[in-house]
Amino acid sequence: MSGVRIAPLGRGDGEDVAVLWRDAGMAGHPLGPAAWRAWWASPDADAGLAWGARDTRGARDARGARGRLLGALLARAPVRRWAPDDIGHVALFAVAEGERGHGVGAALWDAATGALRARGRRRLRVGADPERLLPGVPLNAPEATWRFLRARGVRPGGLEADLRLDLMDGAIDAHPLPSGVECVDDDPEAALAFVGRAFPGRWVDEVARAVAAGTTVLGLRRAGVTLGFCLAQRPTDAAPGQGLTWTALGPWGPLDPHTGGLGPLGIDAAARGGGLGLALVAASACWLRDRGLRAAVIDWTTLTAFYGRLGASAWRVYQRAEGEL
């Protein structure tokens, strides 16, 4: 691998990584500046787990600088209370098409997995890290990606999907809230307290961080008692929600700019089975529509049939992938 240098990546390398990611066959998942900044703003950001392979043979990148990026691997070793302390994550991995098969990917993989093992991690998961960029391996990833992963003991699992919900076709109006139930946006403290009681773990952390950054959390309430919650993200929010990671505008932007995000969301266990869940999603979708949005992304779910009752359809699909370190 003469002429290639493996070195850490940092916050200032977002443009290079975005170009590499696109040119490696992932133009359908455009990596925008906001998503890059959000990933680095995580409490789990660790400069010792982000690696790049740069060309030292005199080639120049798109900005005319020497050291064109030939490959990149971002990893995580989460330190959250809810996160298993033996799992490491590969958050993003790409090698330029013309560099595959020459040891670039292997060198990046060895650097990252060695650093994960040094942090006590014994299992590996592709994607699904806190402030994730990806829930898993995109289904449209190059076949070379899976050949590489399988050769290193990473095995495919179940499918996850990001769904797109059209807020303008009227399907959400067919599922109104029951009498005496309301969806409110003016009591984030009650909604956060509900999440802590009903869904302890990852969602508590994610929702609290989103609300602190200015995202709206909706509460489903009956007789003053909170029965459910939904995080409602707008493209104008200060921090992009997970559902909006891949809606970056620009030359590769795949969605209407009037697109929001829904989720995570949930209903109290004692209140399930009576249609409140679907009504909560519909009410939250109406909340976004009332604020000028025309579509919403419901990210990282296996409940395609459930959301399909409101007209949601699969937009992007991912496959879980796990292995041993």
Distance CA 71, CA 107 (A): 10
Enclosing H/E stretch for 205: helix 202-212
* pLDDT, tens only, 32-62: 888 898 899 899 999 999 999 999 876 555 5
Whether pTM > 0.85 for this model: the answer is yes
User: DSSP 3-state assignment of 131?
Assistant: coil
- Predicted pLDDT of residue 1: 67
CB 253 within 8 A of CB 306: no
Conformational region of residue 56, where left means phi above 0, alpha means psi within -120 to 50, and beta covers everything else: alpha
What is the Cβ-side half-sphere exposure of residue 211, based on CA atoms within 13 angstroms?
23
Binned at pLDDT 50, 70 and 90, residue 126 comes out as: very high
pLDDT exceeds 60 at position 284: yes
Instruction: Please give the class, per CATH, of domain 163-320.
Output: alpha beta
- Predicted pLDDT of residue 159: 97
CB atoms within 10 A of CB 261: 28
* Token couple for 139: 């289904």
Binned at pLDDT 50, 70 and 90, residue 247 comes out as: low
What is the chain's length?
325
CB 104 within 8 A of CB 53: yes
DSSP, residue by residue, 49-110: GEEEEEE-SS-B-TTS-BS-EEEEEEEE----TTS-TTEEEEEEEEE-GGGTTTTHHHHHHH
pLDDT exceeds 60 at position 23: yes
- Predicted pLDDT of residue 58: 62
CB atoms within 10 A of CB 253: 14
- Predicted pLDDT of residue 28: 78
pLDDT exceeds 70 at position 238: yes
Conformational region of residue 120, where left means phi above 0, alpha means psi within -120 to 50, and beta covers everything else: left
Binned at pLDDT 50, 70 and 90, residue 296 comes out as: very high
pLDDT exceeds 60 at position 248: no
Q: Where are the domains of the chain?
A: 4-153, 163-320
Answer whether 4-153 and 163-320 agree in fold: yes
Q: Which of 307, 165, 179, 156 is nearest to 233 (CA)?
A: 165
DSSP, residue by residue, 250-270: STT--S-SSEEEEEEEEE-GG
Cis preceding-peptide flag for 176 (omega within 30 of 0): no
- Predicted pLDDT of residue 249: 46
80-94 CB burial, b ≥16 within 10 A, e <16: beebeeebbbbbbbb
Binned at pLDDT 50, 70 and 90, residue 30 comes out as: confident
* Token couple for 30: 């455009």
Binned at pLDDT 50, 70 and 90, residue 250 comes out as: very low
182-213 CB burial, b ≥16 within 10 A, e <16: ebeeeebebbbebbeebbeeebbbbbebbbee
pLDDT exceeds 50 at position 325: yes
Task: From residue 96, give the alpha-carbon distance in Å to each of 26, 135, 239, 264, 274.
Answer: 11, 22, 29, 34, 51
- CATH for 4-153 is 3.40.630.30
Torsion of CA 57, 60, 61, 66, to 10 degrees: 70
User: DSSP 3-state assignment of 211?
Assistant: helix
Ranges 92-96, 140-144, 161-165, 307-311: which has the least confidence: 140-144
Give the orientation angle of helix 33-40 with respect to helix 14-21, to 10 degrees: 120
* pLDDT, tens only, 141-169: 888 899 999 999 999 999 999 999 999 98
- Predicted pLDDT of residue 257: 76
- Predicted pLDDT of residue 199: 96
Enclosing H/E stretch for 142: none
Residue 218: DSSP 8-state: E
As a whole number, mean pLDDT of residues 84-104 equals: 93
pLDDT exceeds 80 at position 122: yes
